[in-house]
Structure 1
Amino acid sequence: MKLGKLSLVAVMALGTSAFAIDNVKVNGEAKLWYQTSEYSGLGAGATTSQDFFDNTSNSMADVKLSIGATADLAQSLSAGIKVTALSTLGLENNLVGATPAAKRGIDGVDHQTTGDMTSLDDQSWTEELYLAYTAGKTTVKIGRQALNTPLAFTETWNVVDNTFEAAVLLNNDLPDTTLVAAWVGKHNGVGVLNSGRGSTVAYNGKFGDFAVNGAYAAGAVNKSIPDTAIQAWYYSVDDVATAYWLQADAKLMGMVNLGVQYSGMNPDDTSLTLGTAAANHRDTDMFAVKGAVDVAGVNVYAAYSTVSDGSIGFANVATGDKSSMYTTLGSIYMDGEIVAAPDTDAWKVGASTKMIPGVTLSASYCEAETGNNGGTATTVGGASTLNTDFSAWDVVAATKVGPVDLTAIYTQFDKDVKADDLTDKTTDTLRIIASLKF
């Protein structure tokens, strides 16, 4: 396994006295990620012969080891580094036939479907490497880092996380308000703004240009109203699109949670990414609401969302996969690829509880209906099929065994194409994640 980059952590730790580096903190995570699926229905095609636990492409696994460190270099100046190694540990010879991440190049080439299968090789890369400077209530962070904004963010559900090369400024001078300004130059996600949907992180963690010429973002999060958070974001992705995101979340009487989201995506007609076709430059709007209540140790919630016709949906632009919309949270399949796609209406209900000591249980059901998107399918409009109904159950159990966090997810996902039954498909999936943080 290519672990040479881990020496950087050792250098930082051993050099504390020679370079007057203080407050060194080392942390890490070992994670085992496994998923297996079975299919039924005419749409399953050649995959109908694949059952749970086959060592073919319907079963995926990877093992990750990440080690990071932070340190104070000087007064108000700190640094951080995190390196990641990824391996199948030979599981593909016995248990699995594919990997869940780092299998598609930043150029969009899938290293598993092309036959070279290099994604099964050991991989390693520097996930984070940044400097941070604080003056008063203002912090500037420059370098490779995780981001958390509604339309461009780091996803943590997979075996490895996507990150960005960016400059971020945070300011808290205004009462109860955080102001954010960011420029993003590169990233290692495989998403809608470069080469289409992929597998969260590019092969070998390789970084490439974010869209055409990078992107700018500005945001404000205000908590002046008790138990209420209001946020507003604006994005400008050069030669691709501008976008905005508005959201308000409030807690009433200590037990009722309400939320509302509204967002707009406005493609740029000069975009080199979207192409010149007029159908690829239509504005898209999104509206979503949710309500939740805590009753007798159980949290019950409901959410609804609608996305208009348009060219670009509201999935994470870095990956094209997950989304910040209320109706997409906590689902394996009912996420940004379907629920956040243009011309899609969705509703979701769910519940979670910790009544069993040491165990968190949750379950949700979601339905989504995708129309014909104005009669035009676009290159980045979403992975969902036109004029199709989708539904899914997701059941999750999470616990801790000693120092190890364990999560098991079972989902049944149905795809119903209205035009015929030839592509209808039911997918049952089991996902198991074991994580040891240190």
Structure 2
Amino acid sequence: MKLVKMSLAAAVLLGASAFAIDNVKVSGDAKLFYNTNDTGTLSLFDKDNSYADTALRLGVTGDLLKGVSFGVTGYAISTLGLENNLVSHVWEGTGADQSKIGEAWLAGTMGKTTVKVGRMELDTPLAFSEKWSIIPNTFDAAVLINQDLPDTTLVGAWVGKSNGSATTGDEYVVMAPSLAFSSFYQGAYAAAVVNNSFKPLTAQAWYYDVQHVANAYWLQADWDCQLVKGVKIGAQYADIDLKNSSADSSAYALKVAYAGVENLTLSAAYSDTDKDGALNVANIATTNTTSQSKLYTEAWWNYGYVGTAGAESFNVTAEYNAGFAKVGAYYTDVSNDIATSTHEMTELTVTASKSFGPLDTTLAYVSTDADDQNNGSQYNSVQAYLTLNF
């Protein structure tokens, strides 16, 4: 890995004391991700069916003045030469060793209003940073948050650029936050109201205006049911209206979760999308046809199905803390009643996670049976995630 140039995060850290920056906090991690599958004629752990990458993250935050703070996050990505030995493909981007600034923002707070400007991660229902890859995609944006109204959060945002571009070729992912930032359509506005006046219920409403492309909204309510201990119920509705087309996209989803047994959480979810949608009801900040969705039914690994036009999806999840490890089982079934659709898919994922001090480990097995993958035949994947936190 070539780290000739000092990263901006490191430079800020070294200069913090000289410029009297207060409350400086440093965090970071080192990751190694690995995936192998038995698609085609190859078997699990065959070099030509395996992918790997590593990433180093360093984040620095601090206070410049009273009510004014900053944050910088730097990444260094490297295959460490794994593609020449154990794997033939990389997990992220172009496969070249690189370093980049993922976040660089300033925030000011006055009373109960905060304004954050710069490069940052976002977490909104239809435009967000996806966390499944070795590094997340981020945005050049301005965000305003106000909490003057009781039990209510108001959000306003402008997004100008992002780096969730699509990749092609040998890269395993379809999202490439390692690439350069480019315009986010012709800019987009977002506004939201999140209310918790009735304490067991959190309701949120989001509106988006993607310039010259679409208007969209997302409604969601999550209720901690007091009638039956441990039961939570959720409902979602989303609509994406294209400005120059009548092929609008919409979806609704329902979820019931139960956590009344110690260390065990169970949930079941259902979603349905209309048949006429031109866009997936999913993240518009990455490759929309394969991007992650915030619908309750989203699969653990195979994205790009539950939000497709005409999709009817079910998800059943069980998570249990067994002491020696946290284990999870996730089943997603997506059917599609559009005759020409190739977006039917079933996925079963089983995971085991364990932390050893600062080291987080996860081992996953994924069974996939999708019309548009592996010539329509079921295949298996094994994945390993290692994260050393510091």
Please name the residue that 1:90 is paired with: 81
Encode CA deviations 1:133-179: one digit per residue, 9 max, x unaligned.
Answer: 00100000000000000001111111111100000001110111111
Contact persistence 1:182–1:216 (CA under 8 A): yes
Please name the residue that 1:381 is paired with: none
TM-score if structure 2 supplies the norm length?
A: 0.92
Contact persistence 1:218–1:233 (CA under 8 A): yes
C-alpha separation in 1, matches of 2:2 and 2:156: 36
Query: Does residue 430 of the first structure (1) align with residue 382 of the second (2)?
Result: yes
Please name the residue that 2:67 is paired with: 76
Name the aligned partner's letter for residue 314 of structure 1: V
Please name the residue that 1:287 is paired with: 252
C-alpha separation in 2, matches of 1:136 and 1:5: 39
1:255 to 230, 250, 264: 230
Please name the residue that 2:210 is paired with: 237
Contact persistence 1:303–1:326 (CA under 8 A): yes
CA positional deviation for 1:96: 0.9
CA positional deviation for 1:15: 2.3
Please name the residue that 1:120 is paired with: 95
TM-score if structure 1 supplies the norm length?
A: 0.83
After superposition, the CA RMSD in angstroms is 2.0
Describe the SS at the equivalent of 2:83.
helix
Contact persistence 1:76–1:135 (CA under 8 A): yes
CA positional deviation for 1:4: 4.7
C-alpha separation in 2, matches of 1:5 and 1:318: 30
C-alpha separation in 2, matches of 1:322 and 1:53: 26
Q: Which runs of 4+ in 1 moved over 3 A?
A: 4-7
Query: Does residue 150 of the first structure (1) align with residue 125 of the second (2)?
Result: yes
Q: 1:77 to 1:358 in 2, by over 3 A?
A: farther
1:332 to 289, 301, 307: 301
C-alpha separation in 1, matches of 2:137 and 2:3: 19
C-alpha separation in 2, matches of 1:182 and 1:54: 46
Number of corresponding residues: 379
Please name the residue that 2:37 is paired with: 37
Describe the SS at the equivalent of 1:120.
coil
Query: Does residue 323 of the first structure (1) align with residue 296 of the second (2)?
Result: no
C-alpha separation in 1, matches of 2:297 and 2:128: 17
Please name the residue that 1:207 is paired with: 181
C-alpha separation in 1, matches of 2:144 and 2:371: 46
CA positional deviation for 1:128: 0.3
Contact persistence 1:6–1:67 (CA under 8 A): no
Please name the residue that 2:269 is paired with: 303
Name the aligned partner's letter for residue 284 of structure 1: S
Gaps of 5+ in 2: none
C-alpha separation in 2, matches of 1:176 and 1:74: 28
Contact persistence 1:100–1:199 (CA under 8 A): no
2:348 to 386, 389, 393: 393
Q: 1:433 to 1:174 in 2, by over 3 A?
A: same
Please name the residue that 2:163 is paired with: 188
Q: 1:27 to 1:4 in 2, by over 3 A?
A: farther
C-alpha separation in 1, matches of 2:50 and 2:218: 37
The sequence identity of aligned pairs, in percent, is: 41
C-alpha separation in 2, matches of 1:138 and 1:257: 31
CA positional deviation for 1:409: 1.2
Query: Quick check: 83-92 or 12-21, which moved more?
Result: 12-21
Query: Does residue 364 of the first structure (1) align with residue 330 of the second (2)?
Result: yes
CA positional deviation for 1:371: 2.9
Please name the residue that 1:159 is paired with: 134
1:407 to 362, 366, 370: 362
Describe the SS at the equivalent of 1:10.
helix
C-alpha separation in 1, matches of 2:234 and 2:166: 27
C-alpha separation in 2, matches of 1:17 and 1:348: 51
Name the aligned partner's letter for residue 68 of structure 1: G
Which structure's residues are more often strand, by fraction?
2
